């Protein structure tokens, strides 16, 4: 997890500078619509919808946008297919992609084009999935952990199902098993911790270390292109950056 978290820190700082808000909104609106269609429009009884709304509020999505996305779940316009794809970037870096699409043929063609242009290859189902663990990951603002020492907070979070907790200067990252996501979400809410992100992620079991800055830039360009596609919700990879490369990218 260390390599994954190290890159997540860099990416979070980078994202604060160059996030494409319209793209973020588009993906979150899809997620809200699908969540409401699958589990109902009441966030209190639909953890997936509650999480999507919470994430949308964290990026300052207007309330009207959220309400329209929920309303859209009543019609056929919100009919999206959830599908995953797997492949490799250069240097043997595994890439796992989660999509919400209303046109699978378009999505596959776009993915194949992005991988080919990025010197990667789109693989078959199961080709890289085994390299990742499905985990719940919560990133909360450290200054909202009021009245508790780090040790006390660790005990509280462990009681809610946390497997691992990493303390940074401004953030606390909490990991749990996929099946404990709901329980830990309730514990985080109970502790009144302000959530930056809370989601199920695919964390790499092993990472691929790349020490060539130019090679890393090409891999990251491919990953950025995937994340920029409207049909793609999330992109996971097992690239680990050396301190040398991190210094050049900072």
- Return the biggest CA–CA distance within the chain: 53
**Given the DSSP bridges, would you call strands 171-177 and 132-141 parallel, antiparallel or unpaired?**
antiparallel
Do both 123 and 235 map to the same domain? Answer: yes
Do both 126 and 210 map to the same domain? Answer: yes
Q: pLDDT grade, residue 167 (50/70/90)?
A: very high
Do both 24 and 52 map to the same domain? Answer: yes
Number of domains in the chain: 3
Kindly tell me if the per-residue pLDDT of 17 is higher than 70.
no
pLDDT at 55: 85
3-state secondary structure of 248: helix
pLDDT at 2: 42
Task: State the residue range of the domain holding 241.
Answer: 81-131+206-249
Do both 148 and 240 map to the same domain? Answer: no
Q: pLDDT grade, residue 5 (50/70/90)?
A: low
CATH number at residue 37: 1.10.10.200
**What mean pLDDT comes out for the span 54-61?**
85
**Given the DSSP bridges, would you call strands 94-101 and 232-237 parallel, antiparallel or unpaired?**
antiparallel
Do both 177 and 69 map to the same domain? Answer: no
pLDDT at 197: 84
**What mean pLDDT comes out for the span 177-204?**
91
Do both 187 and 222 map to the same domain? Answer: no
Do both 168 and 227 map to the same domain? Answer: no
Do both 138 and 159 map to the same domain? Answer: yes
Do both 192 and 230 map to the same domain? Answer: no
Least confident of 67-76, 111-120, 226-235: 67-76
Kindly tell me if the per-residue pLDDT of 20 is higher than 70.
no
Alpha helices in 179-235 (DSSP H): 181-190, 213-228
Taking the C-alpha atoms of residue 99 and residue 127, their distance in angstroms, rounded to an integer, is: 17
Do both 41 and 52 map to the same domain? Answer: yes
**What mean pLDDT comes out for the span 7-15?**
50
Mean per-residue pLDDT of the chain: 89
Q: pTM here?
A: 0.83
Do both 64 and 151 map to the same domain? Answer: no
Kindly tell me if the per-residue pLDDT of 96 is higher than 70.
yes
pLDDT at 78: 64
Do both 229 and 240 map to the same domain? Answer: yes
Taking the C-alpha atoms of residue 121 and residue 52, their distance in angstroms, rounded to an integer, is: 31
**Given the DSSP bridges, would you call strands 208-210 and 239-241 parallel, antiparallel or unpaired?**
parallel
* DSSP string covering 12-70: HHHHHHH--HHHHHHHHHHHHHHHHHHH-S-GGG-HHHHHHHHHHHHTT--HHHHHHHH
Beta bridge pairs of residue 235: 97
pLDDT at 11: 52
* DSSP string covering 150-166: HHHHHHHHHHTTEEEEE
Domain C-terminal end among 78, 94, 118: 78
């Amino acid at each position: 997890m260390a390599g994954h978290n190290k890159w997540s820190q860099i990416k979070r700082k980078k994202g604060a500078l160059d996030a494409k808000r319209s793209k973020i909104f588009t993906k979150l609106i899809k997620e809200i619509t699908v969540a409401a269609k699958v589990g109902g429009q009441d966030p209190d009884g639909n953890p997936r919808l509650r999480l999507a709304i919470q994430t949308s509020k964290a990026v300052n999505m207007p309330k009207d946008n959220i309400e329209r996305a929920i309303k859209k779940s009543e019609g056929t316009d919100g009919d999206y297919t959830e599908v995953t794809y797997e492949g490799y970037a250069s240097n043997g870096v595994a890439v796992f992609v989660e999509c919400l699409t209303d046109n699978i043929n378009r999505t596959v063609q776009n993915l194949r084009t992005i991988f080919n242009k990025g010197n990667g290859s789109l693989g078959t189902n199961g080709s890289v999935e085994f390299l990742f663990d499905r985990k719940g990951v919560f990133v909360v603002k450290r200054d909202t952990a009021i009245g508790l020492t780090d040790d006390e907070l660790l005990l509280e979070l462990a009681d809610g199902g946390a497997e691992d907790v990493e303390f940074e200067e401004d953030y606390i990252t909490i990991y749990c098993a996929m099946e404990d996501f709901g329980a830990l979400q309730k514990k985080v809410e109970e502790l009144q911790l302000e959530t930056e992100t809370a989601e199920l992620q695919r964390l790499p079991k092993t990472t691929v270390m790349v020490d060539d800055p130019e090679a890393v830039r090409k891999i990251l360009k491919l990953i950025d292109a995937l994340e920029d596609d409207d049909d793609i919700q999330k992109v996971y990879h097992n690239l680990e950056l050396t301190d040398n490369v991190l210094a050049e990218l900072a």
